[in-house]
Copies of this chain bind each other. A is one copy, B any other.
Amino acid sequence: MGLTKADIFSKEQNRLAMLLKALAHPARIAILQRIMISNTCICGDLVGELGLAQATISQHLKELKSIGIIKGSIEGTSVCYCIDPDTWKVLESTLQDFLANYKGETICCQ
């Protein structure tokens, strides 16, 4: 079918999967790193730096924005994007919880 059977998984599982999916692209990782490091961001900068077309970067920004990881505000003729602190906190804690389930090496699978 090609459609994820979201209904058979928990809200938390689906939410985490969606957040991770939004992060799971090198361009979006690079974009986020750039935003975090500069502590502010204008799309135009990225176009020059990343080596992707303007339309492509705009699309990646849209994806990050639609899931709430970043938010943008119009700043004159350009747009200023930055991390959304609330979603970031959710991401951090959800990931922490998920990773914490691992209790270390087991006896099986030697």
Chain A residues at the B interface, C-beta cutoff of 8 Å: 4-6, 8-10, 13-14, 16-18, 20-21, 23-30, 32-33, 36-37, 39-40, 50-52, 71-73, 75, 80-83, 85, 88, 91-92, 95, 98-99, 101-106, 108-110
Contact = CB atoms under 8 A, between A and B. Distances in A.
Contact of A102 (B21, B23, B36): B36
Nearest to A102: B36
A20 B20 contact: yes
Contacts of A85: 104-105
Given A39-B103, A81-B109, A85-B105, 9 more contacts: A4-B25, A8-B50, A17-B28, A23-B24, A24-B24, A32-B98, A37-B101, A39-B106, A92-B99
Nearest to A27: B9
